[in-house]
Structure 1
């Protein structure tokens, strides 16, 4: 019976978090990270996932309200969490456009050592010049070039991790033994973006290589994931879309010498629970109203229309104005590639359902959620996984830090009873949790430069 994989996404700074709820707590205080991580580990989740933000977003030249608390650096937080968890995987989002392979490989290998084999790296890229202004190079890479840099970045990092022999002997204080000179090989790499020559100074970590996660639904992103990733983080939430994505990405693996089990597909998902399905539906609707208030609704509209829309009533109809090409209304967010096409779809839905601006924003920006009683949600999750629409889900709760509590207490036991979810961890490492090969070099995942 196919098993369900689950991970927990720390909500972070975004419009999915319901700040108005009195149970909402700090995004900075370590106690918030600790609470969510311990809940996830108690529920036997595969890993705890942190996003990244390299610059505060702006809306019409001012810091966006949802970003005022900032976002801590992920690897530092995860290193602290490694000390208060025992089995939970620890996944950091780190950008390949604004980092260097040798330095990042050291940090990730160190986390894998500290956690005894639980580190993961969510590989992301950006060509956003606004973000790039915080870095010497700036945002100079176009889409194809940034994936080329990312591929070389990961390939070089793997070469560094694999440069230590698996049977290398560490220094022994009692015997006075030290590493033999042949325990670590020199890495010589000269590529389009990086030139490295030397020996990596962190011994081979418990997993050999941290788990690689990739988020991206574009053609370049799918191909990059098929060649490189252990887990792909997607937004395909419906059964139909999920199955199409699942089939497309899994079929790409063969040309890289990989098997289907070597890449787990885990969409982001939200959830709303209630004692009954009707109660859960009411709860979900209220959550969405709180997530998309009047100001947020206008901000969504401005991102798509590319112009100031603050003069319009969010509780009124969609205005009869055309999108503009301006890119400076909202900065630090993913830009809308096809403004006219997206705006046309919004207009069509607004007309068909007679929606106000705010109702339309709620309708068009909500992720697919599992909504229902615990029994209904458990059944929905099992169906997605059993029918190859996903291998599991990265859950994004709407509250920090207690948003996962009910799911862990009410849904997880039902999944365990159905025989589709583990009762306990089967091994110490994240690779064990995900059912991945213990040593990626044995699975032809590309360890050499």
Structure 2
């Protein structure tokens, strides 16, 4: 804690829940901004698999399936790390965990530039980058929101969720240009430097809890002291999984979110660029289309957060998945060597829907699982990444077997229709066994 923070923490606590000092901007917004910058940096790393696929295939003669396997490992670890990272944040604090994560992804990106075998891609990019980015995943965003905000939670969740794709949007065109003009190695080095720059900012400005600076959460009516560190982070993450897995809402949300991952990270962010290139579209143009999806994604996710504060999250999820499925099934008809009006329509609408599912899922986790919602969401997000990994791998295999991605687009579109149905049948009341368990633990 810095000296300025120590001064804040010993000063009287103001009675205004939205601005504890009665003036200026609430510290929660600075914390959210730093968290957003961190997620932007981590999101930039997810742009690389699609850009690496063809260069690595050409340079090393590796199969697309083996390259896709490394991406799949990255996505699985991205998901599986999140709940443990959320528990570690309760034990050691967000600042320590996130700073270590940034150093890890920088090391993974730099080591990737020295590889000579496909297994090294799996180790450096799949393992190291997967672990690091997973520690800064949506569970981190949920932790920031739960600790620092009482009001505007849906909106803040939407903003932080969109930060990942915003990172893809601002980095993707430049990285694609670097790959085309020079090679893929300078692009990886650029990402590593970005992570190393953000690390000190996180250490200086990110704080674990409003009580660290003598404030209440934004919109809170009462001051809450900082909770004691929770020991046994790994045990807690597993216990929360065990408890939540006994409830129906968890499996419905996890299944729907697995399909969400398959239809976004798994197929779009890994295979859209090479699929468009198969139709004669230049790689830089395809990357620019993905970046444009990111532009619309920001607005769509923030709007979804605003809607989640006001409408039934289940119905929102059903609408989002239904529309996304239709778009993906018709995408093969829109592919061409040049950008047509139909493709621009796809880019705009898919961008609005891409991460719009996150605020409703986070809200449902909070509704059903209370204080453990960030960890539960981490496990739900793990399902998201497993779905993404399966399609990232299957997409590469399908391209090797059939010479086309068309069957993959249609299959994933059908899965989205299933996810829409799953979303609509999530029960409306919190699961009684979980609520009873929470009450018993509170009483003990």
Which structure shows the higher strand fraction? 1
- Larger of the two Rg values belongs to structure: 1
**TM-score interval, normalised by the smaller of the two chains:** under 0.3
Which structure shows the higher helix fraction? 2
